[in-house]
A and B are shown apart, each in its own frame.
Chain A
Amino acid sequence: MNDDRFEELVQRFIDDHVTESQIDELVDLCRDDEGKLSQLREHLRLADLLSQYEAELRSSQCFVDSLAQRKSAGDNADDFVARVVESAQSTSSVKQNGSDTFSSNVSPRTFGDWRWKLWLTVASIAALLMVGFVDWQSRPVATLASSENAAWESVLPTTPGSRLKPGLLQLRSGVATVQFDSGASVVLEAPAGFELVSSMKARLVSGAAIFDVPDSAIGFTVETPEGYAIDYGTRFAVQVEPEKQRSEFELIEGEIAVHHPSASDEIRLTEAGRSVSISGNELIVEDSLVDHEPVSRPTVIRVATGGRITSVLHAAKRHLKWHAHPLSREVFTAKRTDSGAFDHYSLLEFDASGVPFDEVQSVELRVNLVPSSRGLAARLPRVSRFGIYGLPKVNSTWGVAVTWENAPQPSDGVLLGTFEVPRSQQRGNFMIGGEKLLSFLRDSSHSPVTLIISRETSQLEGVGPGLTHMFASHSHPESVGPVLEFTLNHSRKILP
């Protein structure tokens, strides 16, 4: 009986959703049973070996790439680091090419020495780059836009126009506006404690604030001690009362999702004036206390992918798929090289069958670019162009585990539009619209449609890897996944 339960719990723990209490139970079952404990260990080890084998983004090459990437974000001119990175890359390529031989032919001692050298190289780069990384983390993320009789207690500069690095601002009196580099802005009302985390994330420790989030910053996250909210566009207010351990999020316009740390679900607010308050373990949704005039404006229908996203990469690269990037489900990728051997493109599926197409005025496909952990932006042309292709229904069957050989290709589809991303840009909301996209969607409205996103421009070939562009998928923690936004041509009356 115990054995069956143990088996079931191990399976859940390794391959599925598992609750805290199920893990507790598993711990109790293993505690005095060395046999069960070693079975559990063996499953964990194999699961990890498999994910190293299966997924491509966790290679030591990638480790070096991502450090180099972080470093280059702050400082492109450090020739010394570049040299060290280069030497480590040549070491790790030896490793990849030689992977078949070193298990059997090389004696353990030389193998150990050789491995030690690689480790030292990797570790020394890591140590070197740590220094750069600290700089990078503390680059300015926002500007103090205005200060209305504001009095501050802060280590950050407090004169209007100052650039603000991540850190804590304490507003003692007055009102101040902070403009984030992502485009989001916040009006703070004293007394307030406010922490800048990044251009897409802030923490309200105490006090009240109103956030304004344009399209460029969709996905902007506001944390409070009790929970956090992700903005899906436009305005909301947050109030934090530390002494009552209470946070309140009120939607003024647009859409936000409020998360409570102990609940895995989110609460979406889409109706102006609605609010959510969180205190302790309670999460209460309150209706608006004031009457809002029914708003008359074009209705927008948003369709997301529902998890049907996958990136495919060239077969030449697949044997290197040893290591899964922890973010692999959170992003989808696009890359093109002259040789074609390292190309990626992504398939997105949308089910727009519920959309009343006869009322649709226009449609846009929106995707959010997120910082890439792979490759160097300097190896790209100044501007990269991306194409969105629509796949005719005959070619549109694929599974999320589709491979390069059997995946539908951009050339199977029709080009619906393009957008451009400057190499200096790491984040942002990009879109295509237009009649071509709309008529394609309308023609295939009876069933799910597949769109392919592929990079049309290549990279500057050479020794170092060019950047792989990454876009947020539906499960990205900060940014919103791809959506189709349909604007309807009549104004529906929204009930109060």
Chain B
Amino acid sequence: MQLRSFVRTLGVDPDWVDDLAQEAFLVAFREKASFDRSRDIGKWLRGIARNLVRNEIRKDARRRRILHEALAELLVSCEDQCHESAHWTEMKMPALRDCVEQLPSKSRQLVSERYGGGWLADEMAEQLRMSASAIRMGLTRIRRQLKQCIEQKAVEEGT
């Protein structure tokens, strides 16, 4: 599931992220003979995913599974070092769960409507009696808090 998130950071359309991640697994399965077992498998899969996204950029617009050509180019262009610095090898779900469930109830509600229900800020605005921009800012703040919280937990676990 880390691969899924990785695929998303390459600028793939959220609706197609699963599809592309599955494709990466399929390619990996086909090419498994060429995989050197001493290497990091996650890294190998991410390399495959990156190549798949490069192919997407070359496709014509109607069939593409990326959100925006120039953006995907920019996101995919950066070689290993910037992707690998993001600690992709850590499994963060349990930490994320603890951090999310500790959020104040209003924030928790924002997260579940946006990411569980899939509503956009603009669509949530009326029901929550907040402006769309306040919701966007709230969600951004929450993501930053969660990132901090997860990193904090990683440090605690490490010690």
**A residues in contact (CB < 8 Å) with B:** 7, 10-12, 14-17, 20, 23-24, 26-27, 30-31, 34, 37-38, 40-55, 58, 60, 63, 99-100, 102-104, 108, 112, 115-116, 119-120, 122-124, 126-127, 307, 310, 319, 321-324, 326, 328-329, 399-401
Q: Can you give 29 A-B contacts (C-beta < 8 A)?
A: A10-B140, A15-B121, A16-B122, A16-B136, A23-B71, A31-B74, A37-B78, A37-B82, A42-B86, A47-B143, A49-B92, A50-B111, A50-B114, A52-B1, A53-B96, A54-B116, A58-B18, A103-B91, A103-B93, A103-B95, A104-B157, A112-B41, A120-B32, A123-B28, A126-B22, A310-B117, A328-B117, A399-B113, A400-B127
Main secondary structure, interface of B, reads helix
Given contacts A47-B143, A54-B112, is CB(A100)–CB(B120) below 8 Å? no
A58 to B: closest C-beta gap in Å: 6
B22 pairs with A63, CB closer than 8 A: yes
Number of interface residues of B (CB under 8 A): 66
Chain A proximity of B78: nearest CB distance (Å): 7
For B26, list chain A residues within 8 Å (CB). 123, 126-127
**What residues of chain B lie closer than 8 Å to A328, measured between beta carbons?**
117-118
Bound-state Cα–Cα, A34 to B77, Å: 12
**How many residue pairs at the A-B interface have CB separations less than 8 Å?**
178
CB distance B116 to A401 under 8 Å? Answer: yes
Asked whether, in the complex, the Cβ of B17 is within 8 Å of the Cβ of A48, the reply is yes
Given known contacts A104-B157, A126-B26, A326-B18, A15 and B9 CB-to-CB distance under 8 angstroms = no
A52→B90 CA distance, assembly (Å): 16
Instruction: Let me know if A27 and B70 touch, CB within 8 A.
Output: yes
Instruction: Determine if A49 and B5 form an interchain contact, defined as CB atoms under 8 angstroms apart.
Output: yes
The A contact surface, by secondary structure, is helix
Inter-chain contacts of B1 with A (CB < 8 A): 52, 60, 322-323
Q: From residue B36, how far is it (CB to closest CB) to chain A in Å?
A: 13
Q: For chain B residues 112-134, which have a beta carbon within 8 Å of chain A? A: 112-123, 127, 132-133
Q: Whose C-beta in chain B lies nearest to the C-beta of A106?
A: B91
Q: Is the CB of B117 within 8 A of A400?
A: yes
Q: Flag if A326 contacts B14 (CB, 8 Å).
A: yes
Could you tell me if B29 and A11 are in contact, using CB atoms closer than 8 angstroms?
no
B158 vs chain A, min Cβ distance (A) = 10
